[in-house]
Amino acid sequence: MSQPASTLSEASPSNRFALAALLLGGAAIGGSPIFVRLSEVGPMATAFWRVALALIPIFIVSLMKKERGPKPQNLSDYGMLVLPGVMLALDLGAWHLSLTMTSVANATLLANLAPVFVTLIAFLFFSAQISRIFILGLAVALCGVVILKGGPAAVGNGDLSGDGMAMIAAFFYACYILAIGRLRSRFDTIRIMLWSTACAAVCIFPIGLIYEGHMLPATVYGWSIVFGLAFISHAGGQVAITYALAYLPPAFSSLTLLLQPVVAAILAWALLSEAIGAMQALGGAIVLAGIMVARRG
C-alpha cells in the first residue's frame, strides 16, 4: 500500500501556516460572545454593527477582485441572494439575545447544533438520506443537552428560554448554510458574502431600532468592541478558516467546532467570572461528541 506523500508531522510550511490560521480563526470566532457581552449597546444593535462594519473589508476585497463571476439576471436570482442574509439576521439576532439570557458556554455550545439541523432539514425537505450513525450522534447530543442543564429534573423545572433561543439560532444558521449551499454553484463567494452580509444588516437595523432604540455606542471603548467583533471575530475569523480549509483535509473543520465553545468558556471564566461546573463540563463534552458523531454520519 502506498503511503501519503506527507503527514502533519511532515507538513509543508504552507500546511503548518494553514493549521495555525485554522486555530486562530476558531479562537477569533470563539471570542465573539465576549464582544457581545461587553458591548455598550443591546444584542440587536450589536448584531447590526457586527455585519454592517464587516461589510468594509468584504467590500474592499470585492473591489480588488478582477473576476467577480456571473451577476444576478432576474428576480429569482436576487431572491436567492437575499435569502441567506435574512437567515443570517435571524441567526445573529437569536444568538446575541441568547447570550444575554444564558451563560456564554451554553449559548456557544448549543449554537453548534447547526450541523444537526442541516441534516434534519435536508432530510425533511430535500429527501436526503439519514444514516444510523447520524441518529446515534443526535441521540448522544440530546442526552448531552439534558446533562448540560443538570439532568431531567432541572430541564423540567429550570428556565430554558436562553438555551432555547441558542437552539433557535442554530436552526436559522442551518437554514443559512443550506441557502448558501444552493448559491455556490451559481455565484462567486465574495458576491454571496457581500449580499448576505448587507441584507443581514438591513434586516437587523429596524429590529434593533424599534426594540432597543439606542443603536450608537457612546464611547470609544464601545466602538472598539463592535469593531473588534466585526473585524476580528466575524470577518477575520471566517477568512482565516476559509483560507485554512483550502489547504487542510475537510476533517480539520471539526477543530473549529471544538475550539469555539472551549475558547468562549475560557474567556467567559477569565473576563466575565462565569464558572463552569462539573455537570456543565460533562454535558458540554457529550454534546460535542454527539455533534462529531452526527457529522460523520
**156 pLDDT exceeds 70?**
no
Reported confidence tier of residue 2, pLDDT bands at 50, 70, 90: very low
Residue 7 lies inside a defined structural domain of this protein: no
What's residue 201's pLDDT? 95
Whether 240 maps to a domain, the answer reads yes
**Residue carrying the nine cell digits 458591548:** 39
Number of domains the chain contains: 1
Phi and psi dihedrals of 248, rounded to 5? -105, 155
Show the domain range for 235.
12-64+71-296
Average pLDDT over residues 145-149: 74
| 4 occurs within a structural domain | no
Q: What is the pLDDT of residue 72?
A: 79
Answer with the residue of higher pLDDT: 203 or 161.
203
172-216 per-position pLDDT tens digit = 988 988 888 778 777 877 888 889 899 999 999 999 999 898 899
- Whether 2 maps to a domain, the answer reads no
pLDDT (0 to 100) of residue 44: 95
Name the grid cell of 253. Answer: 473543520
> CA-to-CA distance for 141 and 156, rounded, in angstroms?
18
Higher pLDDT, 41 or 278: 41
- With 0-12 CB in 10 A as exposed, 13-18 as middle and 19+ as buried, what is 189? middle
State the chain's mean pLDDT as an integer. 82
Task: Check pLDDT > 50 for residue 9.
Answer: no
* Per-position DSSP letters for 47-100, written without gaps between them: HHHHHHHHHHHHHHHHHH-S---PPP-SHHHHHHHHHHHHHHHHHHHHHHHHHT
Q: Residue 151 has what pLDDT?
A: 63
Q: Is the pTM of this model over 0.85?
A: no
The whole-number pLDDT of residue 207 equals 92
Residue 10 pLDDT class (50, 70, 90 cuts)? very low
pLDDT surpassing 50 at residue 8 = no
In a domain, 291, yes or no: yes
pLDDT > 70 in the chain, percent: 87
Q: How confident is the model at residue 65 (pLDDT cuts 50, 70, 90)?
A: confident
**Domain assignment present for 22:** yes
Residue 260 inside a domain? The answer is: yes
pLDDT of 252:
61
- Which pLDDT tens digit goes with each residue over 133-145? 888 887 888 788 7
What are the angstrom distances between the C-alpha of 79 and each of 83, 186, 273?
6, 13, 44
pLDDT computed for residue 159 by the predictor: 60
Residue 1 resides in a domain: no
Q: Residue 35: is its pLDDT beyond 50?
A: yes
Closest CA to 172 of 77, 95, 241: 95
Return the pLDDT at 1. Answer: 42
pLDDT greater than 60 at residue 240: yes
Provide the percentage of residues in the chain whose pLDDT is more than 90: 27
Residue 131, number of CB atoms within 10 A of its CB: 12
- Least trusted range by pLDDT, from 99-103, 167-171, 186-190, 242-246: 242-246
